[in-house]
Amino acid sequence: MAVYTNVSDEALAEFLTHYDLGKVVSFKGIAGGVENTNYLLQTEAGSYILTLYEKRVAEADLPFFIGLMDHLASRGFTCPLPIRNRAGEALGRLEGRPAAIISFLEGMEVSHPTADYCRLAGQTMARLHLTAQDFDIQRVNALAPAGWPPLVESAVGEADTVEAGMAELITSELAYAQQNWPTDIPSGVIHADMFKDNVFFLDGALSGVIDFYFACNDYLAYDLAVGINAWCFDDELQFDAERCAAMIAGYQEIRQLEPAEQDALPVLARGAALRFLLTRVNDWLNVPPGALVVPHDPKAFSARLRFFKSATPSTFGLSTSGTS
Amino acid sequence: MAVYTNVSDEALAEFLTHYDLGKVVSFKGIAGGVENTNYLLQTEAGSYILTLYEKRVAEADLPFFIGLMDHLASRGFTCPLPIRNRAGEALGRLEGRPAAIISFLEGMEVSHPTADYCRLAGQTMARLHLTAQDFDIQRVNALAPAGWPPLVESAVGEADTVEAGMAELITSELAYAQQNWPTDIPSGVIHADMFKDNVFFLDGALSGVIDFYFACNDYLAYDLAVGINAWCFDDELQFDAERCAAMIAGYQEIRQLEPAEQDALPVLARGAALRFLLTRVNDWLNVPPGALVVPHDPKAFSARLRFFKSATPSTFGLSTSGTS
């Protein structure tokens, strides 16, 4: 939620000489994006988002992120389209940072999604999975279970200062996930961060998905597990079974979940809750001086995690398949 | 540089039912505005800024600020025009805050203004002064010399931790200003914060002035003194006499400075440097936990203040008039 890198008018004008976007009409820093600096850029050609990639994003991952948006958008999936400069490049440098211009998506976040909105989000997630099937760059999910032990280690000493019992919770849940994580369900490119603020709606229709900077190769059903965490709890942190059923139904209208995926959903949802709990509790305990973002409350995810500990496929409106 | 108050899609939709702006097309928090929360709001009718007034802005002052923008914009001065709802009101409430929708101004800040840009800024400042002459609400400048003693008092104990000698500087300069502040030069409505980020340019022309939330009644020449502080020092904090002469010349193309104003300019510039030094050093020493803004460096204004200590009218390219 910040502008980390200021862009001068001279540097912007020089950067834009490489593009066919005409002159600048307006340019404003956007208060969103924890990882990167984003500007709303209006030129004679239209509205765009200019992103400067900050230190938390590995430069080596940028061809994956930008290539994925390009792949999806050019196949009709509604996400930002990276704009290429006259040399055909979508990635440049500005104020010493890697930088890209992407198309502007209309729409806005829905604060309190109904089941209908969840169904649309589920459909769109499945479309993303299918459309990305032939995308040919790979990116390991750095926040899969293999990446969790260091996060548990760095937080466990102080976790109980955030919430009583949190140290025990993250330790035991890490062990549970390591022992129970599925091993042979369908994989592919997933968004991995399809929270409400990354999905825009316009007039009740889903207008687009943004922020692909956690996208990676992982289990497709894990994306749905993230989505259930993100969309299917109310403001009092109560699970909303109707929204969850709608999200899964929407997903399955586009891509049918295999029985093994349905069986894995409880452990995946539990693991997704742990993954967001771990990054949030680490961010909470390590707010750097001069941070420009308010850390998210980790307790929103310890509550989800405790809920999912007793979940079964029927929690998600699925019947146990008995095949795994 | 932050969104202090989140606006839900439901609350926004309800707020907009009172306006004739059509449906929302997009809605994004803007990373700018230290005092208030600003969103870029695009509707079927066009682009707007939605501002929620936060605690640092006194609600009693809002009719002045909004009335002034309305007064200026409706007389052809390029500043945001407050949009009235169907009840004729430009000020409403949203998410528990006073809120207003104002028109969107094209253009962007110039990082390194040349003398030409300074001349345009000077012209526009004088136009603002003349256009506001018949505005009939008054607002005392809370940051005039009468408001400085508490700021000196709260900072003086720790000021030397920011820069050696700063405590002595602010104490002696407060005394100097109190003894030498002019008493009978022309007053009127001034912007009082015409820094570079509040003036937009488009294709080399000045496209508008924003952020009237420090505007008040005070000496007209004090506004110019603020402008000289803001526009006429380079990145190495060196005074740029050419830019300063151009700003004053631009101002005088529209409104001639009286001899007493010309004579007062050194003490006004010195006082303006002290005013920004005082608020900056207080902000610097009192960054609240969870602050979403980086405080500005006070040393940028102690340097200006030291420069202006030896200034005379000829520093500003003016000949001493001998009339005061």
Which amino acid, one-letter code, is at A225?
A
Q: Which residues of B touch A294 (CB under 8 A)?
A: 290, 292
- On whether the CB atoms of residues A223 and A248 are closer than 8 A, the answer is no
Across chain B, mean pLDDT equals 94
- On whether the CB atoms of residues B255 and B129 are closer than 8 A, the answer is yes
Rounded to an integer, the average pLDDT of B136-154 is 97
Q: Spell out the domain ranges in chain A.
A: 9-103, 115-316
Find the chain B residues whose C-beta atoms sit closer than 8 A to any C-beta of A.
1-3, 8-10, 12, 23-32, 40, 42, 104-112, 200-203, 290, 292-294
Rounded to an integer, the average pLDDT of B10-39 is 92
Assigned token pair, A144: 């899969």
Q: Output the CA–CA distances (angstroms, integers) from residue A27 to A34, A43, A95, B108, in the order listed.
A: 19, 9, 15, 6
Residues paired with B281 in a beta bridge = none
What is the rounded distance in angstroms from the CA atom of residue B62 to the CA atom of residue B190?
A: 16
Of A33-37, B48-52, B207-211, least confident by mean pLDDT is A33-37
Predicted local confidence at residue B324, as pLDDT: 43
Q: Do A111 and B23 touch (CB under 8 A)?
A: no
pLDDT, tens digit, 9 for 90 and up, residues B221-265 = 999 999 999 999 999 999 999 999 999 999 999 999 999 999 999
Angle at alpha carbon of residue B70, lines to B67 and B76, rounded to 5°: 145
User: Which homologous superfamily is B115-316 in?
Assistant: Aminoglycoside phosphotransferase (APH), C-terminal lobe (3.90.1200.10)
What is the rounded distance in angstroms from the CA atom of residue A309 to the CA atom of residue A263?
A: 14
Rounded to an integer, the average pLDDT of B102-108 is 97
Rounded to an integer, the average pLDDT of B286-292 is 69
The single residue listed with the structure tokens 């000949």 is B319
DSSP letter for B107, please.
Answer: B
Reported confidence tier of residue B304, pLDDT bands at 50, 70, 90? very high
The answer as to CATH 3.30.200.20 being correct for domain A9-103 is: yes
Find the chain A residues whose C-beta atoms sit closer than 8 A to any C-beta of B.
1-3, 8-10, 12, 23-32, 40, 42, 104-112, 200-203, 290, 292-294
C-alpha closest to that of B313 among B233, B253, B225, B232: B225
Predicted local confidence at residue A291, as pLDDT: 63
Closest chain A residue to B10, measured at CA: A111
What is the rounded distance in angstroms from the CA atom of residue B9 to the CA atom of residue A102?
A: 24
What is the rounded distance in angstroms from the CA atom of residue B270 to the CA atom of residue B311?
A: 8
Phi/psi of residue B120, each to 5°? -65, -40
Predicted local confidence at residue B320, as pLDDT: 64
Measured in whole angstroms, the distance separating CA B239 from the mean position of its chain's CA atoms is 20
Of A205-209, B95-99, B282-286, least confident by mean pLDDT is B282-286
Across chain A, mean pLDDT equals 94
Q: Which residues of B touch A204 (CB under 8 A)?
A: none
For the beta carbon of residue B290, count every other beta carbon within 10 angstroms: 10
Q: Which residues of A touch B25 (CB under 8 A)?
A: 106-107, 202
Q: Which residues of B touch A23 (CB under 8 A)?
A: 203
pLDDT, tens digit, 9 for 90 and up, residues A59-69 = 999 999 999 99
Q: How far is A322 from chain B (nearest CA, A)?
A: 42
% of chain B surpassing 90 pLDDT: 90
Q: Output the CA–CA distances (angstroms, integers) from residue B251 to B198, B220, B300, in the order listed.
A: 17, 11, 25
Rounded to an integer, the average pLDDT of A116-131 is 98
More confident residue, B293 or A272: A272
Q: Output the CA–CA distances (angstroms, integers) from residue A11 to A6, A141, B258, B287, in the order listed.
A: 10, 34, 40, 31
Assigned token pair, A319: 């019947």
Predicted local confidence at residue A35, as pLDDT: 76
C-alpha closest to that of A4 among A42, A30, A26, A40: A30
Closest partner residue to B30 (CB to CB) among A29, A200, A202 is A29
Rounded to an integer, the average pLDDT of B300-315 is 96
C-alpha closest to that of A45 among A12, A19, A75: A19
Predicted local confidence at residue A324, as pLDDT: 42
Burial class (CB in 10 A: 0-12, 13-18, 19+), A22: exposed
Rounded to an integer, the average pLDDT of B9-14 is 96
- On whether the CB atoms of residues A54 and A97 are closer than 8 A, the answer is yes
- On whether the CB atoms of residues A208 and A105 are closer than 8 A, the answer is yes
DSSP B116-170: HHHHHHHHHHHHHHHHTTT-----B-TTSGGGHHHHHHHHHTTHHHHSTTHHHHH
Reported confidence tier of residue B37, pLDDT bands at 50, 70, 90? very high
Predicted local confidence at residue B292, as pLDDT: 63
Predicted local confidence at residue A295, as pLDDT: 82
As for the ipTM of the complex, it is: 0.89
* Fold match, B9-103 / B115-316: no
pLDDT, tens digit, 9 for 90 and up, residues B161-202 = 999 999 999 999 999 999 999 999 999 999 999 999 999 999
pLDDT, tens digit, 9 for 90 and up, residues A164-203 = 999 999 999 999 999 999 999 999 999 999 999 999 999 9
Q: Do B31 and A3 touch (CB under 8 A)?
A: yes
CA torsion, points B148, B154, B157, B163, in degrees to nearest 10?
A: -60
Closest chain B residue to A109, measured at CA: B9
> What is the b/e burial string over A286-315, where b = at least 16 CB atoms within 10 angstroms of the residue's CB?
eeeeebbbbbbebbebbbbbebbeebebeb
Q: How far is B148 from chain A (nearest CA, A)?
A: 27
Closest partner residue to A28 (CB to CB) among B8, B40, B203 is B40
Predicted local confidence at residue B225, as pLDDT: 98
Torsion B31-B33-B35-B38 (CA) sign: negative
Predicted local confidence at residue B145, as pLDDT: 97
The single residue listed with the structure tokens 């019992």 is A165
DSSP B26-53: EEEEBS--SSSEEEEEEETTEEEEEEE-
Predicted local confidence at residue A1, as pLDDT: 45
Closest chain B residue to A42, measured at CA: B106
Q: Do B108 and A26 touch (CB under 8 A)?
A: yes
Q: How many helical (H) and strand (E) elements, i.e. helices and strands, does chain B have?
A: 10, 9
Entry field: residues in chain A: 324
Of A54-58, A175-179, A214-218, least confident by mean pLDDT is A54-58
What is the rounded distance in angstroms from the CA atom of residue A234 to the CA atom of residue A240?
A: 7
Asked whether the predicted pLDDT for residue B58 surpasses 70, the reply is yes
Asked whether the predicted pLDDT for residue A34 surpasses 80, the reply is no
> Taking every pair of C-alpha atoms in chain A, what is the biggest distance, in angstroms?
64
- On whether the CB atoms of residues A52 and A99 are closer than 8 A, the answer is yes
Task: Give, for B98, the enclosing helix (H) or strand (E).
Answer: strand B97-103
What is the rounded distance in angstroms from the CA atom of residue B68 to the CA atom of residue B310?
A: 36
Predicted local confidence at residue B1, as pLDDT: 44
